[in-house]
Amino acid sequence: MGRCGFTLLELLVSVAIIAVMISLLLPALAGARTSAKVVRVHADLRQIDHALIMYAMDWRGALPPSRASCATQTEYPLPVELAQRGYLLRGQTTAGGLVEHVNLIDVFSPDGDVYHFRAPGPLWLNETSFFAEGAKLWAPDDFPRGESSGGQYYNDPFECPARYATWSVGPEPEAAKLLINPGRGPMLRRLWYTGLSDPGWITHFQDQRERIYTSP
């Protein structure tokens, strides 16, 4: 008469094998999810690039002002003008239909913040105070390579080798290397995300000839 069912030992061995297989597969699955998010970030940033290009074409080469808020501790969110004027179809509106901010969320932001934009020149602080040259953008001496730690901050849009930078905080926003010189992040190569073992920012930026460069 044939035996049916499994012994307790056989079941335990089977469970152990399945657990080992799952432990081997989980990192690969997590890596695949992160890679998919990186692809999405680059797609979102390209959408922002195109919106900024169209904005500049309509406004004689000018870009929208950068923004910062002391109250919310938010630095350099996407310019609301891109949504207000239809260059990005992602706007958060009030009950009266006024577009308050761009609603294009950084998929890696732990707080649900939008992607970031920074350009030398005009700055709105707290949406109440305007400074014609209040926004500064750091550019490396070897721009656009970004391998040199030497560089400077520019607040003149015509002197800066870069017109603007946009970026995502990347998979590990609190990584130690990002907390050292955060202001240099968009164009300093060693602060870029280059893979699962090297966290960093995911960035796009444009030079004065309107060529766009990206991190990996």
Q: What is the mean pLDDT of each run of 10 residues along the chain (216 residues)?
A: 63 72 63 88 97 97 93 80 87 62 90 94 93 96 95 96 97 88 86 89 97 96
Quick check: bond before 182 cis, omega within 30?
Answer: no
- pTM for this entry: 0.84
pLDDT at position 1: 52
Cβ pair 164, 205 in contact under 8 A: yes
Amino acid present at 66: S
pLDDT at position 7: 76
Q: DSSP code of 59?
A: T
d(CA 173, CA 202): 11
* pLDDT tens column, 169-196: 999 999 888 888 778 889 999 999 998 7
Three-class secondary structure assignment of 104-157: CECCCCCCCCECEEECCEEEEECCCEEEEEEECEEEECCCCCCCCCCEEEECCC
pLDDT at position 73: 60
What spatial distance separates the first Cα and last Cα of the chain, rounded to whole Å?
64
pLDDT at position 82: 94
Q: DSSP code of 201?
A: B
Burial of 130 (0-12, 13-18, 19+ CB in 10 A): exposed
pLDDT at position 5: 60
Amino acid present at 121: G
By three-state DSSP, how is residue 77 classified? strand
d(CA 135, CA 163): 12
pLDDT at position 16: 72
- Phi, psi for residue 124 in degrees, rounded to 5: -100, 120
Q: Are strands 137-140 and 129-135 parallel, antiparallel or unpaired?
A: unpaired
